[in-house]
Amino acid sequence: MSRDGTKRPQGRSQRRSVRILGDGCAALSLAARAAELPDHDITLVRPAGAPAAAEHIWGFWGGAGLEAATRLARASWTRWAIATETDKVVMTSAARPYFALQRSDWTSYCRGRAAAAGVVMLDETPAMPPAIQQFDSRPPPVPRGMMLQHFIGLEVRAKTAVFDPETAILMDFRVDQSHGMHFIYLLPFSSTEALVESTLFSPQTLAEDEYLAAIRDYLARHCGLCEFETLRRERGVIPLGQLGRRDPAIEGIGGNGGAIRPSSGYAFIFIQRQIDNAIRAAGVTGRLAVTSPHMRVDLAMDAVLLTVLRHWPERAPELFLRMGKALTGDEFARFLNGEADWGLRLKVVMAMPKLPFLRGALRLVTNGGQAKYARAA
């Protein structure tokens, strides 16, 4: 019999000990579902040298299997926009809203569920008990020269109404483009409060002042907001591309298990999908099988897009605007959430200017199918 009193499938009477290095998004999201793994004893190990967890927002489009996350979300929008110097597209979807989930809300929820299901949480020590299966969720090494999504975001409060709380701004390219693809991401929590991020896709991070100047300049020029209170700050550097594992001897999970979508840096939804698939596999074979949540075709398309953005970043505003104009809100959400079928992929391909993508594909082919980087920094 299992811990919850249900009968175990025959031939799988042995309990499986599973150890996960890390207590971030992937480790806790899996631990929260321990009740679905009644034959497994799960231990989370907080790694030696782990930095203190920093608050931030996870943005994602809703969909099947995300009910707990959407219920806990701080805000959601059924309208979102992409803007360039010359044009703007607004997409809507009542069925697939865009959600903002506070990291601490999700991790507290997961910790509570994990504890109730008997998950053990330990600090790493030199003598850890043996485990049948081990996963490593510590961040993977990032090769020098890799494309990065890097940003600083400020949660700001204005004295008067300056934001449109109905519309999330996914990308506003009306900022300096001289360091690579650069846009403002603005999540309006009300008419006076918003998370405003200066985000770049490029291999080089910038000095802190440059992101902050971009935010200040944008708020002054486009929202008429020159004085504001800063409630919180968040910062991120997310590698865009396929990465090796932190320790090749240990199976990876989360960002260290290929969950970050290379073309967007989105990972929350893909981590949940990776965990869904692993739990489903455990139901069939008894073994948690953690695999990439991305389709090969999507990774190939992402590699070409990243090549275009790296070499011709000045084309970025036009590319994303075209995509926004070609797709409905539902389609855009499905594409970004990794749920595209062949028809939708074709629609995206047809919306793009052909020459840069042919040149990008050619560059990739002459590089042997992937970007070449220096060794991990």
Ligand X SMILES: Cc1cc2nc3c(=O)[nH]c(=O)nc-3n(C[C@H](O)[C@H](O)[C@H](O)COP(=O)(O)OP(=O)(O)OC[C@H]3O[C@@H](n4cnc5c(N)ncnc54)[C@H](O)[C@@H]3O)c2cc1C
Cβ nearer to ligand X, comparing 26 with 301: 26
Cβ nearer to ligand X, comparing 25 with 316: 25
Cβ nearer to ligand X, comparing 267 with 333: 267
Are residues 311 and 364 in contact, defined by beta-carbon separation less than 8 angstroms?
A: no
**How many residues belong to the chain?**
377
The SS3 assignment for 166 reads coil
CB of 226 to ligand X, least distance (A): 26
The residues facing 80 across adjacent strands are: 91, 168
DSSP 8-state secondary structure symbol assigned to residue 74:
S
Q: What would the DSSP string read from start to end of 277-297? A: HHHHHHHHHSS-----SS-HH
CB of 14 to ligand X, least distance (A): 28
- d(C-alpha 344, C-alpha 339), whole Å: 9
Residue 259's alpha-carbon distances to 65, 113, 267, in angstroms, are 17, 23, 6
Are residues 305 and 261 in contact, defined by beta-carbon separation less than 8 angstroms?
A: no
> Which residues in this chain contact ligand X in the complex, by CB under 6 A?
22-27, 47, 49-51, 56-60, 137-139, 234, 236, 238, 254-256, 266-269, 271
Residue 243's alpha-carbon distances to 23, 104, 258, 276, in angstroms, are 20, 27, 7, 22
**Residue in the structure block whose two tokens are 């004085």:** 227
CB of 77 to ligand X, least distance (A): 13
Cβ nearer to ligand X, comparing 254 with 360: 254
Cβ nearer to ligand X, comparing 117 with 148: 148
CB of 13 to ligand X, least distance (A): 31
**Sign (positive or negative) of CA dihedral 119, 65, 272, 203:** negative
Cβ nearer to ligand X, comparing 187 with 364: 187
Q: What is the CA radius of gyration of the chain?
A: 21
CB of 6 to ligand X, least distance (A): 29
CB of 87 to ligand X, least distance (A): 25
CB closest to ligand X, residue no: 24
Are residues 201 and 146 in contact, defined by beta-carbon separation less than 8 angstroms?
A: no
CB of 186 to ligand X, least distance (A): 13
Cβ nearer to ligand X, comparing 180 with 254: 254
- d(C-alpha 290, C-alpha 275), whole Å: 7
Cβ nearer to ligand X, comparing 172 with 356: 172
Cβ nearer to ligand X, comparing 44 with 352: 44
- d(C-alpha 84, C-alpha 37), whole Å: 48
CB of 101 to ligand X, least distance (A): 8
CB of 256 to ligand X, least distance (A): 6
Cβ nearer to ligand X, comparing 24 with 324: 24
Q: Within the chain, where are the H helices?
A: 25-31, 67-72, 103-116, 208-223, 268-285, 296-311, 316-326, 329-336, 342-351, 354-366
Are residues 336 and 345 in contact, defined by beta-carbon separation less than 8 angstroms?
A: no
Are residues 140 and 256 in contact, defined by beta-carbon separation less than 8 angstroms?
A: yes
DSSP 8-state secondary structure symbol assigned to residue 86:
S
CB of 24 to ligand X, least distance (A): 2
